Amino acid sequence: MKSSAVKISKDLSVPSKEGMHYRLLCLTGKNKGISYYLSGKRAVMGRGDEADVQVLDAKSSRAHAELKKVGAKYVVTDLGSQNGIIINDLKVTQHQLIDGDKIIIGQTVYKYSVHNNKALSVIEEDDEDDDDDEYEEVKSSKKAKSKEKEKKSRKRLFVLIGVLALVYFVLDGSDPGVKKKKKSTENLQEVTEALNMVYNDQKKIEDKDTRDKVDTFIHRARREYREGNYFRAIEELNLCLILAPNHGYCSFLERKAKQSFDETIRQHFEKAKIDVDSLKYKAALIEYCAVVRLLDEVKKAGKEDLRLDEAEQNIFFVEEKLGMEKGEHKCF
């Protein structure tokens, strides 16, 4: 619906108009690829026709969440919806949005971003009417021939920026070496090959059976993550990425699960070291065994992790300090 609080666009490129731009980009669902630019003090997200940002998701309430501008930031608030809202990986009732946040309602994901355009020299300034219609999908149909040429040049530039933005977003979270290579190369063939890969993967995910399987993997991964079973969550997300290698949300969740898994192990090692320095050897054994149990799942999956060897060697060291035989202490 037409709303003064939200302007809708299918253009993925960053707006050229000078000033602050607050955007919600729909990443999944029926409105995937549509940008919602917040321009008012308040906007409502929900399934109802009267919503400013219509969420076409079965788990969305008619008036699901409110986006309210407080100062120079937007705050999202759950309006008492049945299924709630998730920001990144945490269910919240209210949250002050920052650039890069993911708003999740049901299976629909929106990416919030803030763009501060101070000045742009790449695109020539057009008539005032064009500035006023910067976000509108329908542009004025007739121009003078000279203006028509300028419009075509700008359109090609917008499409190129949008395509490149899409490629970098989809490939976000891949191997840092690959990402660095993409940034350093100017080879058009590499960009073309990446676009072809994205297109083929998108066609694959459009298959209903594949889409249902991906949704199942995501559901299982989120459940395991909430229960602290980070490696199991990673395994589920690996299966998701086998089916849909460039699935943005699966890649995002996999990164979060790996970060949480590594951080948990780091904390156990750190606590054990403090215990050893304090001569609290039995407490240190508990921490090292926690690491062993976490990494035992990695070992069972047929993978190696040097941290497991480190934990076991530390256990042998503590056993010696306690006057125990090597291997006497068992981690259950």
Is 70 exceeded by the pLDDT of residue 66?
Answer: yes
Is 60 exceeded by the pLDDT of residue 160?
Answer: no
pTM above 0.85, yes or no: no
Is 50 exceeded by the pLDDT of residue 331?
Answer: yes
Q: 113 to each of 107, 134, 257, how far by Cα in Å?
A: 20, 18, 23
pLDDT of residue 119: 45
- 173 falls in which pLDDT band (50, 70, 90)? very low
pLDDT of residue 132: 42
pLDDT of residue 73: 92
Give the integer Cα–Cα distance in Å for 247 and 330.
Answer: 41
Report, as an integer, the average pLDDT of 103-125. Answer: 73
Buried b (16+ CB within 10 A) or exposed e, 302-314: eeebebbeebbeb
Q: Tokens 């049901």 correspond to what residue? A: 106
Can you tell me whether residue 224 is helix, strand or coil? helix
Tell me the DSSP string of 54-87: E---TT--TT-EEEEEETTEEEEEE-S-SS-EEE
The angle at the Cα of 198, spanning 192 to 201, to the nearest 5 degrees, equals 140
Report, as an integer, the average pLDDT of 116-121. Answer: 57
